[in-house]
Amino acid sequence: MTIVIRGGAAQYIEEAARSLNDAIMIVMRAMKTHAVVAGGGAIEMELSRYLREHVRSIRGKQQMVVSAFAKALEIIPRQLSDNSGMDSTDVLNKLRQLHVQSEDNLWMGVNVLENNVDNMMDKFVWEPEIVRLNVLTAACEAACTILSVD
């Protein structure tokens, strides 16, 4: 297959080529792993909900750490809603409410195209499971490295 990329400046062409390469690699990874999760911050909100429930059974300083991690996961949907011009506080409150209400709302996330909260699995906004796992692992390792240096 040949894809012709044209543009007014070399910088734009290079950026388009990088973006296209990223998209192709994500699709290839999704086809190899056969497992996807919903995008739009849905998986992060569900993980945060689970950790907030689990934190009730933890005692001591670990409770604060797990609670902070649950709050940190909500940065993804917050940033998505901010970047799309939505009120992130309202979006997060609605997402928290939906994720707590029912297990059917597992894939509710930020729909930046329609500026609302929606089932991202039904909207075909998917991410390969392995990519999401790698992102969470890398973020945790980076945070631990920063904390160990200080």
Tens-place pLDDT, residues 29-62: 878 878 889 999 999 999 999 999 999 999 999 9
Q: Are strands 116-119 and 108-111 parallel, antiparallel or unpaired?
A: antiparallel
* Angstrom distance (rounded) from CA 136 to CA 144: 12
Phi-psi region of 41 (alpha: psi -120 to 50; beta: other; left: phi over 0): left
Count of alpha carbons within 13 angstroms of residue 43, beta-carbon side: 16
Q: What is the largest CA-CA distance in the chain?
A: 59
Domain ranges of the chain: 1-34, 37-149
Kindly report, residue by residue over 100-114, the tens digit of the pLDDT: 998 888 999 999 999
One-letter amino acid identity for 40? G
pTM metric for this prediction: 0.79
| CATH architecture for segment(s) 37-149 | Orthogonal Bundle (1.10)
* Angstrom distance (rounded) from CA 89 to CA 125: 22
With beta carbons less than 8 A apart as the criterion, state whether 30 and 126 touch: yes
* Angstrom distance (rounded) from CA 84 to CA 99: 21
